[in-house]
Amino acid sequence: MADCLFCKIAAGEIPSSKVYEDDQVLAFKDIDPQAPVHFLVIPKQHIDSCAAIDAQNAPLVAHIFEVIARITKEEGIESFRVVSNTGEQAGQSVKHLHFHVLAGRSLAWPPG
């Protein structure tokens, strides 16, 4: 999608600190980390947000969760939080589906 920051990162047009990549997804470190471990996992295909998940793209979303489990296991991260802010009130600033993976410190609940 033109003018989408994460589409540009997925295409390699904007550099990122890659954690994992395959033909469908990219994981990269958040530019403004909120925990000692903070990376984002995105589909390479543009999807607006969690609100746009449907029967057609659900297998891709399932693959993202499989990738999150694989990365965290490989890095020895046993405790982590997965967050996907959806919509402006929830704090979504980039309108391309992404899952934050946060770890390495105690994480408060409920979130702010």
Neighbouring C-beta atoms of residue 6, cutoff 10 Å: 23
Query: Binding to Zn ion by residue 7, rule CB under 5 A?
Result: yes
Query: Looking at 27, 80, 96, 98, which residue binds Zn ion (CB under 5 A)?
Result: 96
Q: Which amino acid is at 12?
A: G
User: Residue 91: which of Zn ion, ligand 5GP, none does it interact with, CB under 5 to 8 A by kind?
Assistant: ligand 5GP
> Is 98 noted as a catalytic residue in this protein?
yes
16 binds, among ligand 5GP, Zn ion, none (CB under 5 to 8 A by kind): ligand 5GP
Q: Which among 38, 96, 98, 100 is annotated as catalytic?
A: 98
Rg, Å, the chain Cα set: 14
By CB under 5 A, tell whether 4 contacts Zn ion: yes
Least Å distance between CB 85 and ligand 5GP? 4
Residues that bind ligand 5GP (CB under 6 A): 5, 16, 28-32, 85, 91-94
Determine contact, residues 97/43, Cβ cutoff 8 Å.
yes
What's the rounded Cα separation, in Å, for the pair 56 and 61? 10
Residues known to be catalytic: 98
Residues that bind Zn ion (CB under 5 A): 1, 4, 6-7, 46, 96
